[in-house]
């Protein structure tokens, strides 16, 4: 009987624990999905979804209000971009200087491939040049040597 | 590739130089600069109502330059900035509208702050900081300089010093 009480108590205790990382019930998960893509202006490295700073709370409230008004995700993001610039977005659009940031890994990879290809080509050319430089009699001597060692002399 | 090392050195050096020339990342440029200041009207803090009315804000046709200062009572730099703003308000009150916006604050704390520093320029109350977001603010204190025709001329993030305040006022005063 005591065991049953203990188990029931344990069950209630487990149920009373907050489920981690779930949004509070008053705001829909969609609000947090959008807020996750926006910076919290007063925080270092935190999105408007994670921060509890007053400004981030208000941003989430604005998002919720605009969703209720039937605005799309893009429209809501544009609302913040019009006030803060592209800086507010965690994934800045690929244009201007940002385009270079997006392209630089590809550019780096291209340069690496080009460098490797050039290196390979040089090694191959060097090998061919060396092979061409060996005199006929040297080749004949080496072949004879090989034949001799193959015959077990 | 290594044969061209002077080119690489020059390219890298150029990149570093360009990096050094870029604007200070701590200096936050506002997208509002050069654009009309967002309009708003908010209730004034109680002590200002007899003189200025129930509400105050920015609206087109104000025909007066505005120094919009966003502040909060819990903000330490606002405490050093408040007496400076008060001093310049006394000097410029006929020519420039000094308007405080109290954000993310409790009204009674804001009132205590106003009393403590004897602030006579009007301040409106924006508890949730919504007007702050309208103006794209990063924190407190933050000051927006708006010219006579309602165009935002500058944004200053952080505490103002005397020289900066004078320069901003020179920029917009008639």
ipTM: 0.81
pLDDT (tens digit per residue) in A115-149: 999 999 999 999 888 888 888 888 899 999 999 98
**pLDDT at res. B53:** 94
3-state SS class at A65: helix
Residues of chain B with C-beta less than 8 angstroms from the C-beta of A41: 136-139
Residues of chain A with C-beta less than 8 angstroms from the C-beta of B104: 54-55, 58
Strand partners, B124: B44, B101
Mean pLDDT of chain B: 91
pLDDT (tens digit per residue) in B89-142: 999 999 999 999 999 999 999 999 999 999 999 999 998 899 999 999 988 899
B56 and B124 in contact (C-beta within 8 Å)? yes
Q: Does A58 touch chain B (CB under 8 A)?
A: yes
pLDDT (tens digit per residue) in A51-87: 998 899 999 999 999 999 999 999 999 999 999 988 8
How far away is chain A from the Cα of B131, in angstroms, using its nearest Cα?
11
Q: Does A96 touch chain B (CB under 8 A)?
A: no
Provide the H-helix boundaries in A54-135: 54-68, 73-84, 97-133
Ramachandran class of B171: left when φ > 0, alpha when ψ lies in -120 to 50, beta otherwise: alpha
Q: Does A127 touch chain B (CB under 8 A)?
A: no
Q: Does A48 touch chain B (CB under 8 A)?
A: no
CB atoms A59 and B137 under 8 Å: no
Q: Taking the CB of residue B166, how many other CB atoms lie within 10 A of it?
A: 12
How far away is chain A from the Cα of B132, in angstroms, using its nearest Cα?
9
Domain B30-172 has CATH 3.40.30.10: yes
CB atoms B129 and A54 under 8 Å: yes
How far away is chain A from the Cα of B94, in angstroms, using its nearest Cα?
30
- Kindly give, in sequence order, each residue whose CB lies less than 8 Å from that of residue A66, ignoring residues fewer than 6 positions away: A75, A76, A79
Nearest CB to A85; choose among B31, B103, B129: B31
CB atoms B128 and A84 under 8 Å: no
**pLDDT at res. A138:** 87
- Kindly give, in sequence order, each residue whose CB lies less than 8 Å from that of residue B23, ignoring residues fewer than 6 positions away: B29
**pLDDT at res. B26:** 57
Residue B46's nearest CA partner among B128, B129, B117, B102 is B102
Class of domain A2-88 as given by CATH: mainly alpha
Q: Which two tokens stand for residue B65?
A: 């330059």
CB atoms B1 and A115 under 8 Å: yes
pTM of the entire structure?
A: 0.71
């Amino acid at each position: 009987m005591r065991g049953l009480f203990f188990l029931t108590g344990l069950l209630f205790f487990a149920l009373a624990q907050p489920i981690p990382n779930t949004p509070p019930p008053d705001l829909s998960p969609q609000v947090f999905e959008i807020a996750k893509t926006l910076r919290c202006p007063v925080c270092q490295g935190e999105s408007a979804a994670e921060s509890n700073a007053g400004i981030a709370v208000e941003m989430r409230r604005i998002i919720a209000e605009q969703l209720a008004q039937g605005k799309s995700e893009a429209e809501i993001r544009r609302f913040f971009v019009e006030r803060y610039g592209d800086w507010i977005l965690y994934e800045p659009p690929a244009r201007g200087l940002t385009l270079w940031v997006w392209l630089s890994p590809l550019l780096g990879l291209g340069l690496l491939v080009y460098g490797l290809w050039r290196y390979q080509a040089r090694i191959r050319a060097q090998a061919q040049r060396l092979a061409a430089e060996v005199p006929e009699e040297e080749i004949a001597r080496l072949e004879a040597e090989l034949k001799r060692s193959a015959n077990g002399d | 590739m290594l044969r061209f090392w002077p080119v690489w050195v020059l390219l890298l050096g150029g990149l570093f130089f360009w990096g050094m020339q870029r604007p200070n990342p701590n200096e936050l440029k506002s997208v509002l600069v050069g654009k009309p200041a967002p309009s708003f009207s908010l209730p004034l803090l109680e002590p200002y109502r007899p003189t200025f009315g129930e509400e105050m804000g920015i609206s087109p046709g104000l025909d007066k330059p505005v120094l919009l200062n966003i502040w909060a009572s819990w903000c330490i730099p606002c405490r050093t900035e408040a007496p400076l703003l008060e001093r310049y308000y006394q000097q410029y009150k006929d020519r420039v509208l000094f308007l405080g916006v109290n954000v993310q604050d409790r009204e009674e704390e804001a009132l205590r702050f106003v009393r403590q520093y004897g602030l006579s320029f009007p301040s409106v109350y924006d508890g949730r900081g919504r007007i702050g977001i309208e103006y794209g603010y990063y924190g407190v204190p933050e000051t927006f300089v708006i010219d006579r025709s309602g165009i935002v001329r500058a944004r200053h993030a952080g505490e103002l010093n005397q020289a900066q305040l004078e320069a901003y006022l020179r920029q917009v005063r008639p």
